[in-house]
Amino acid sequence: MEFDSCGILLTENCNARCKMCCDSRGMVRGKTLSQEELDQILQNIKECGTITLVGVTGGEPMLYPELVEHILNYDFGRPMRFTIKTNGFWGKDTAKARKFLEKYKEKWKKIKYPLQVTSPLFTHLFCGYFLQLPAAKEQKSNGSLGGGTCE
């Protein structure tokens, strides 16, 4: 069997308390991958030459932006796209958030967020901005945009 995508559960920790969270994230302090563990996973993905899409999830992965950037900047030896599941807390500093999104604009495929914790401000700023990026324009044209997701 050939895999074309995979997910990295970067951390079990979260700063939100969504009732519908399937893993009660935010209620416990859990495990976060070390850089060494992450490098082992990234190397495995690199060696699995068919994977071209990596989903970063948690918990709240943006509690550890340096690890998220480590994933985005890793040399997989081929073009890769990324998704991230986030509650958007980091969007409070809009200038910094835009800079981060812009920096990796060619790499994003999707940003997913739980509606329960996401403010209209986040939706407006992030999705409004994200929809201008190349990946979103491409998917908007084929009708695959959906609620709860900036694609």
55 touches ligand SF4 by CB under 6 A? no
Among 8, 14, 42, 54, binds ligand SF4 (CB under 6 A): 14
At 135, which helix (H) or strand (E)? helix 134-141
Q: Judge whether 44 and 56 are in contact, CB under 8 Å.
A: no
* Candidate ranges 28-36, 52-60, 120-128, 130-138; the one touching ligand SF4 (CB under 6 A): 52-60
Amino acid letter for position 21: C
One residue of 38, 45, 117, 127 binding ligand SF4 per CB under 6 A: 117
**6 - beta bridge partners?**
54
Q: Does 72 interact with ligand SF4 (rule: CB under 6 A)?
A: no
Side-chain half-sphere exposure of 20, counting CA atoms within 13 A: 5
Find the binder of ligand SF4 among 10, 51, 54, 58 (CB under 6 A): 58
CB-based contacts of 140, cutoff 8 Å, min separation 6: 131, 151
Interaction between residue 25 and ligand SF4 (CB under 6 A): yes
Binding site for ligand SF4 (CB under 6 A): 14, 16-18, 21, 25-26, 58-60, 87, 114, 117
